[in-house]
């Protein structure tokens, strides 16, 4: 009886462990991945971090997005340590759409210019 119980339990466990869910192709769904939005956030600890930031490379990332996608770009600048022990910070963010990349790129350039002013 004990042996029969062990055989049944191990059989049940092996069936449960080896059972596989159907793959996406079996279900008929597409394996294509689509992004609804693209968001980039840059944390800057110093003026040098911002000077090394290449906006053309970031624009290339946004250009590769599909039409009518939400875009977001943020720069967070960290400054001196305050009395409470935390670093001071300033965050600037631009939101746009992939259908109007030129206007969005102008916003990104303005944010970088303001962030450079934070450290000067």
pLDDT digits (tens, 9 = 90+) for 53-108: 999 999 998 998 888 999 999 999 998 888 998 889 999 999 999 999 999 999 99
- The C-alpha atoms of residue 89 and residue 45 are separated, in whole angstroms, by 9
- The C-alpha atoms of residue 90 and residue 77 are separated, in whole angstroms, by 5
CB contact at 8 A, 50 and 115: yes
- What pLDDT sits at residue 23? 59
Q: Which two tokens stand for residue 3?
A: 């042996």
Indicate yes or no: pTM above 0.75.
Answer: no
- What pLDDT sits at residue 1? 45
Count of beta carbons in the 10 Å neighbourhood of residue 96? 20
pLDDT > 80? residue 12: no
Task: State the Cα angle at 112 between 39 and 44, rounded to 5°.
Answer: 75
């Amino acid at each position: 009886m004990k042996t029969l119980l062990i055989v049944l339990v191990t059989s049940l466990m092996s069936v449960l462990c080896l059972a596989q869910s159907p793959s996406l192709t079996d279900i008929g769904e597409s394996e294509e991945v689509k992004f609804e939005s693209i968001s980039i956030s840059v944390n800057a600890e110093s003026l040098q971090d911002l000077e090394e930031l290449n906006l053309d490379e970031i624009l290339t990332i946004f250009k590769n997005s599909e039409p009518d996608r939400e875009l977001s770009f943020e720069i967070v600048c960290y400054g001196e340590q305050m009395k409470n022990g935390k670093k001071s910070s300033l965050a600037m963010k631009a939101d746009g759409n992939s259908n109007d990349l030129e206007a969005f790129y102008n916003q990104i350039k303005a944010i970088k210019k303001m962030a450079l002013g934070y450290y000067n």
